[in-house]
Amino acid sequence: MKNILLTLSLLLASTAYAAPSRLKDLVSVKGVRENPIIGYGLVIGLNGTGDAGGEITNTSLKKMFEKLGLNPKSEITSKNVAAVVVTAKLPAFARVGQKIDLIISSIGDASSLAGGTLLVTPLKGGDGNIYAVGAGPMSIGGLKKGAKFATTGTIPGGATVEKEVVSEFEKKNSLRLSLNTPDFTTAARIEKVINEELGGKFASAKDSTTIDLVVPAQYERNIVQLMAIIENFKVNPDSAAKIVINERTGTIVAGGDVTVAPVAISHADLTIEVKGDGGGDKSGKPNTIYFMEKGTTLNELVKSLNAFGVAPEDLISIFQTLKRDGALVGEIEVI
């Protein structure tokens, strides 16, 4: 128990001395993102672990043979075939011929996709257009037949981009940066750093998430060079005083400047009092009152509780009670 609490204490202490972060780790650029694509296909070559028939699988097999010039008269059923959904992410600025990874998931009653090969499968975007075509032998991560999750697999580099997403990024005269974690203080700091580094009023923070950037004249038609410079600027991100609690695992993570207002905490043989005069018995002996200074941080409180061997589940209860009492200055989120 003490090791868990000590780890928490170190996590709390580290937040106060967080190193500056690069802008590339704090913001995203409007229009620069991945696009999900999806397709339906067949995996063949299974050793009796495929679908036990079914309308979707049988109809797909029949249509496939018809495209190959065959005209089967009777229903086609095979335990060596499985119907699957194929998904992938089309990277920003993906070009024709570029390879992307595939994720294949069974949609029938196949028991395993091990050893299977995905037939040619077109992958469509939300607009209905085909952006990539995938095929090839599957990998299910070394899992043996019948193992857990054997009905999902991957094909690294299994699809080829056939259509590009139209982008005129290099022609833009302005950019919009969006914070991954909205915060007014961080947005203001980013605006200040960009303007200081570029030597002019180019960045403007619009709200806690958005920073609009006017492209300087010397970087027109050279946006890549501008972004390569900007994304390496260092900024000290701010964070809200927040505690995240996972009651199932007993994990507690606190960020920001979480403080404790004047309050007395009584738990088992321990009583801790946070007060302004700093007086009192600080011996820490059982059945005594342990005094802490006004404005005590959560890190200092955790260290004190850690010294008395308070269990993680009790620590969670203490935090929640402090919050309800209004003595804990910070937000609590239970997951």
pLDDT tens digits for 159-182? 999 999 888 888 888 999 999 989
pLDDT tens digits for 271-328? 767 666 544 444 444 445 566 666 667 777 777 777 777 777 777 778 888 888 777 7
More confident residue, 13 or 266: 266
More confident residue, 14 or 119: 119
Q: Which of 190, 219, 235 is the last residue of a domain?
A: 235
State which residues form the domain around 222: 21-31+168-235
Q: What pLDDT is stored for residue 267 in this prediction?
A: 67
Same domain, yes or no: 155 and 188:
no
Same domain, yes or no: 175 and 67:
no
Q: What pLDDT is stored for residue 10 in this prediction?
A: 39
Same domain, yes or no: 155 and 180:
no
Query: How many alpha carbons fall within 13 Å on the CB side of residue 245?
Result: 17
Same domain, yes or no: 220 and 257:
no
Q: What distance in Å separates the CA atoms of residue 103 and residue 156, rounded to the nearest whole number? A: 9
Q: What distance in Å separates the CA atoms of residue 204 and residue 82, rounded to the nearest whole number? A: 54
Work out the mean pLDDT of the chain and round it to a whole number: 81
More confident residue, 323 or 38: 38
Same domain, yes or no: 39 and 154:
yes
Percent of the chain with pLDDT over 90: 39
Q: Give the mean pLDDT of 32-39.
A: 93
Q: What pLDDT is stored for residue 146 in this prediction?
A: 47
Same domain, yes or no: 229 and 250:
no
Residue 286 CB burial class (10 angstroms; 0-12, 13-18, ≥19): exposed
